Amino acid sequence: GIQVEQSPPDLILQEGANSTLRCNFSDSVNNLQWFHQNPWGQLINLFYIPSGTKQNGRLSATTVVTERYSLLYISSSQTTDSGVYFCAVEDYNNDMRFGAGTRLTVKP
Amino acid sequence: EPEVTQTPSHQVTQMGQEVILRCVPISNHLYFYWYRQILGQKVEFLVSFYNNEISEKSEIFDDQFSVERPDGSNFTLKIRSTKLEDSAMYFCASRPTGLGEQYFGPGTRLTVT
C-alpha cells in the first residue's frame, strides 16, 4: 500500500515563529487531507488539498502531485497551534492512510 | 454547517463485553468509514461502507468487528468481545461520493479494563 512519511516528527517553536511541515507519499493519490489533533483527541480538518495551494488565515498548504509531497505552512504560530498534525492520503484503491504525524509545541 | 457526530464521547467497558459505537454521518452522505487510533500511534483505517455493505476492510477488521446502518441516520461499529488492545480512539467519517474530502467525527474514546 501507499506509504506516507511526515517530517519532522517533533517541532518546538517560540510563539510568533513560522514553520513548515512536510508530507511525502509513495504513489499517486486522489485525496490528501491535513488534520490537527487537538488535546481532546479530535481530528480537526485543516485542508482538503489533493493538488495546488490553499490558504486559510495563518495556515496554508501546497501539494505537488508530480513530486509526491505536500507542505503545511503555519505562520506567526500561537500556543493554541500546539498538537499533532497529520497528513492523510488516499490512493486510487480508496484506502486512506495516515502519516505518523508531526508533534508541534509552541512555547509562549 | 453539518457535521458528523459520534456517541458516546467516552466508553469504559470490561474485557469480553460487547460495545456499540454510534455515528450519525452528514445527512446526504452515502459513503461511511471507521478508523482507529491507539494512544500515541497513527490513525488506521478499519472499514468502508456503501449501499448497505462493506466496500473494503483492513486486516485489523476481524470477525469480532461488525458495522451496520440500522436506519437512515445511524452508522454503528460493534465489537463483539472486547480485548484490552481494543482500547483506542475510534473515528467515524463520511462523504457524499466515493471520492473527495472525508468528514470526520469527534471520536469515541474506548477504554477496555
CATH number of the domain encompassing residue A49? 2.60.40.10
Mean pLDDT of B10-36: 97
Per CATH, is B5-112 categorized as 2.60.40.10? yes
Residue type, position B113, single letter: T
- Check residue A1 and give its pLDDT: 83
pLDDT tens per residue across span A11-70: 999 999 999 999 999 998 989 999 999 888 999 999 999 999 999 999 999 999 999 999
Contact A9, A103 (CB under 8 A): yes
Could you say which of B42, B55, B91 has the minimum Cβ distance to residue A100?
Answer: B42
Give the strands of the sheet with B19-24, arranged side by side: B5-7, B19-24, B75-79, B65-68
- Check residue A35 and give its pLDDT: 97
Find the length of chain A. 108
Q: Is A28 on the interface with B (CB under 8 A)?
A: no
Mean pLDDT of B63-80: 94
The answer to whether the bond into B8 is cis (omega within 30° of 0) is yes
Distance from CA of A82 to the nearest CA of B (A): 15
Mean pLDDT of B80-109: 96
pLDDT tens per residue across span A66-101: 999 999 999 999 999 999 999 999 988 778 899 999
> Which neighbouring-strand residues pair with A10?
A103
More confident residue, B104 or B1: B104
Give percent of chain A above pLDDT 70.
100
Q: Is A100 on the interface with B (CB under 8 A)?
A: yes
User: Number of structural domains, chain A?
Assistant: 1
- Check residue B58 and give its pLDDT: 93
- All cell numbers assigned to B13: 467497558
pLDDT tens per residue across span B3-18: 999 999 999 999 999 9
Could you say which of A48, A95, A98 has the minimum Cβ distance to residue B56?
Answer: A95
Q: Which domain holds residue A79?
A: 4-107
Residue of B94, B102, B108, B110 to mutate when probing chain A, most A C-beta within 10 A: B102
Q: Which residues of A touch B104 (CB under 8 A)?
A: 35, 43, 45
pLDDT bracket for residue B66 (50, 70, 90):
very high
Residue of B57, B104, B111 to mutate when probing chain A, most A C-beta within 10 A: B104
Find the length of chain B. 113
Distance from CA of A97 to the nearest CA of B (A): 7
- Give the C-alpha separation, B17 to B83, whole Å: 9
Cell numbers 454510534: residue:
B22
Give percent of chain A above pLDDT 90.
87
Q: Which residues of B touch A39 (CB under 8 A)?
A: none
- Check residue A39 and give its pLDDT: 86
